[in-house]
Structure 1
Amino acid sequence: MTWSDKFKLKKGLIQSLNEAGFAAPKEIQQKTLARINGGQDIIAVGPEGCGKTTTYVLATLNKFNYMPDGVPKVLILVPDKEKVEAVTAKIDQLNKNKTLSVVPLFATPGYEAQMDAMADGADIVVATPDRARAIYLKLGLDLNKIELLVIDDADLIVKQGLQLPVTELADSISRCQHLVFTEVLHERLNKMTAPFMKQPAVIEVEEIGQPQFNTLPQILYLLPNFGTKVNLLNLFMQDEDVFTKVVLFVNTRPTAEKIYKSLNGRSSIAALLNSWHFEMDSFTSLEEFKNSATRMLIVVNDGEQQLDLTDIPFLIHFELPIEKETYIQRMISDSQDVENETIAITFATDIELTTVKKIEQATGQKIALGELPGDLIIEKERKAAASSEEKVARATADDDTRGGAFHEKKASNAKTYNYRAGLKAKMNKKKKH
């Protein structure tokens, strides 16, 4: 398929694509461009590098005739300054209409320069949600003629807690087409887009390559919040026959302390690796933990640590490390003893799914989704989370408050343990350790 087929792109755009080396449309462009040109709302889900940015830049530039009028017709919302600059550069690369004015808006000391740029005329605005909202409230951003609202890296926008600035801007636009691009689609993102998107087409592109190496068996548990993660961990550790030895990875010392106190409330079943508090049980090495009666060792994620994790029945990532390479290195398996192979379990919330997707792309393997136990207590989101969302709406440009709520599953839909037969057999084998 070539760019001239069915997409109805202007000749100047097709020429720019050929000059930039884009010989043929990628899968996401093949599936979305015709729908976008037809005026449909789109939610496009695809991994990094699949062509999402090029897709909406083409849709944006295709809207303009030779002489634009200097009033914003397209508003593109992205999570941070770096992405604003990347999108602006992509527009410059493909745009041959030099009368077109593109104005970037992002957090910077003062508003005067950006207000002046908007006053000089803007056809396309590329902005972070908080700064776009701040300029709008100062009457510097005219939304009356917006025809296209694009939200890119929507999963990262949700992770940063910027849902309300997005929905507030969307509600202030009387009528337009909406395009949402994201690496993952989850409940919090759906909650953000539902008020302004009308029957969007959800288009998903999956690009997972061939496995590069052997990995440990992995299970992913999708959980709503920190409290429910703690509840599931406690539930697992009640099974003394299966969870005989566990190494648990967390990202921060405060998290490690909370889990330590939670697990050791009944009896001393957990210890820390190289504890920073003398009153907490501690080991100085993995070998010391393996030879002890303690069932869990809590480790704060550190990519520089080289840990010998052999002969540990279970690795649990309570939180995913910041660098995906740290996780992947732990998952590489050279063991030929399948029966006694370590099982890796990951707890993830909606906002951690982006990292999960990046890991799957890098390893070339999907992580199996585990079903939650029927007796797992699902913690409600605290009311403070909702009030913090309201603060974002009232605050100035650079607030970073997390929002969104998880809806508890009905009792009739609650799941009991339902491991795949192979994994169940492996977990039963752990009892002999």
Structure 2
Amino acid sequence: MTDAGYISAKEIQVRTMSRIIGGQDIIAVAPEGSGKTTTYVLAVLMKLKYSTDEAPKVLILVPDGERVEAVIAQFKMLSGNRNLRIMGLYGTGGTEETILDLLEGVDIVVATPTRARAVYLKLGLNLNRLQMLIVDDAEVIVKQGMQLPVCELARSAGKVQHLIFTTVVHEKLNHMIDQFLTFPTTIEVEELGEERVETHQLLLYQVPNFKTKINLLNFMLRDDEVFEKVVVFVNTRLTAQKLSKSLVAYKPGEVLVLNPLFFDEAGFDHIEDFKEAKGARMLIVANEGNSSPDLSGIPFIFHLELPEQKELFLSRVVKNSDEEAVAITFTTDLELADLRKIEQSLGFKIPVMDLPEDLVVDKVEKSPGNKVKTVKETIDDSPKGGGAFHEKKESNAKNYNFGIGQKLKMTMKKKHG
């Protein structure tokens, strides 16, 4: 630890280590760079007893191959005086060579959920001796849609200690971990920047989905006396084009796009033209393909989507002059991790506002099979066919559906009956 430069324990380590060593299931919530990976690496090294078993004792699930390599490097750095067998599983392609390597014996497996599941289904990953199942960067795994392989592996592992490490907790994450966690202990650590950045007034609205973002934007911008000039940021030019079509309750020329996707669409090539145009109220700007426009003189800035680079967001909200502006951000659950990184840089949390009572909140309807319902089925009792169509007699009507095996048996009986 000393050679690696660790002088004192971080808060997340102080608050979780004794519980992990004691065998509790943990949900550790802490920002990026707070020491979550080091926490579980040290816990595994302290708990893992030497054995010659071929089956792994610890399975660590991470979002991608880069994280697999980083976690393995951390283990190797902190276990220099121990003979640990550790293996990474990621990528695509054949699994035969991987299975042969696993059969030689391994203590710790670090893997992406999809790859671990693929090897497990081919009987190459033995979970019978597993003692700890760790899910790192859980919020990223949920964002990438890998909940199913995580849940399948967790249920297959049986009774083991579960450690979940994430930067945020939201409904989709809870839905995943509730399927295999029973009575976990949640430990949350907030580490904000030491210096508080001076910004414009910041407001945050948390909504369930993108359609509700559009509804909220429409709802707020009804007040044309307050919102005379508004810039709305989205991530792609395609989203900007679609958003301009979705905002239909405005007069022609009120909603425009900066550098529109198609040449025949209404828009501006420069933000200065928008500032001077009297009838133009809203300018939609895509982060993609546009350099940071000069926002001076714009009283309201909306972030309908958070940019991938937090520095881009900060450059728009940090106060550089005496001008006053209001920066309003809409986020869904899957954007909360990016929001936490921004708040860490700001040195404070953006206040969350209540949604208006009259806001229409779109909800995705799901059928009992957990599939999204997109088409309404109608039952038509009228006969199908042309003018010469006649319904079959009841005696000739087919009300059964034999499988191929049943048909084969019936055919054989006719031949030899």
TM range (shorter): 0.7 to 0.9
SS at match of 1:218: strand
Find the counterpart in structure 2 of residue 352 from structure 1. 335
Find the counterpart in structure 2 of residue 427 from structure 1. none
| Structure 2: gaps of 5 or more residues | 373-417
Instruction: Point out 4+ residue stretches in structure 1 off by more than 3 angstroms.
Output: 96-99, 382-388
SS at match of 1:125: strand
* Equivalent residue for 1:276, pick from 232, 238, 261: 261
The farther-off stretch of 361-370 and 189-198 is: 361-370
CA contact (8 A) 1:213 1:363 kept: yes
RMSD: 1.8
Find the counterpart in structure 1 of residue 130 from structure 2. 146
Give deviations 1:299-344, integer Å, cap 9, x for gaps. 001486131101111100111111111111111112325xxx1100
How far is 1:258 from its partner?
A: 1.7
Find the counterpart in structure 2 of residue 11 from structure 1. none
Report whether the alignment pairs 1:330 with 2:313. no
CA contact (8 A) 1:247 1:312 kept: yes
CA contact (8 A) 2:54 2:103 kept: no
Structure 1 residue identity aligned to 2:260:
S
How far is 1:289 from its partner?
A: 0.6
Distance 1:34 1:54 in 2: 14
How far is 1:99 from its partner?
A: 3.4
* Equivalent residue for 2:168, pick from 178, 184, 191: 184
Find the counterpart in structure 2 of residue 380 from structure 1. 363
Distance 1:387 1:310 in 2: 47
SS at match of 1:66: coil
Give deviations 1:92-123, integer Å, cap 9, x for gaps. 11114543211100013322222122111111
Give deviations 1:30-77, integer Å, cap 9, x for gaps. 000001111111100111111100100111112222334231111100
Give the TM-score normalised by structure 2.
0.85
The farther-off stretch of 178-187 and 326-335 is: 326-335
Distance 1:109 1:318 in 2: 38
Structure 2 residue identity aligned to 1:139:
L
- The structure whose Rg is larger is 2
CA contact (8 A) 1:66 1:97 kept: no
CA contact (8 A) 1:303 1:323 kept: no
Distance 1:278 1:265 in 2: 23
CA contact (8 A) 1:68 1:99 kept: no
CA contact (8 A) 2:201 2:325 kept: yes
Q: What is the number of equivalent residue pairs in this alignment?
A: 369
The structure-2 alpha-carbon separation of the partners of 1:57 and 1:242, relative to structure 1 and needing over 3 Å to count, comes to same
SS at match of 2:2: helix
CA contact (8 A) 2:241 2:261 kept: no
SS at match of 2:88: strand
CA contact (8 A) 1:68 1:100 kept: no
SS at match of 1:387: coil
* Equivalent residue for 1:287, pick from 262, 267, 272: 272
Report whether the alignment pairs 1:76 with 2:56. no
The farther-off stretch of 127-136 and 261-270 is: 261-270
Report whether the alignment pairs 1:317 with 2:303. yes
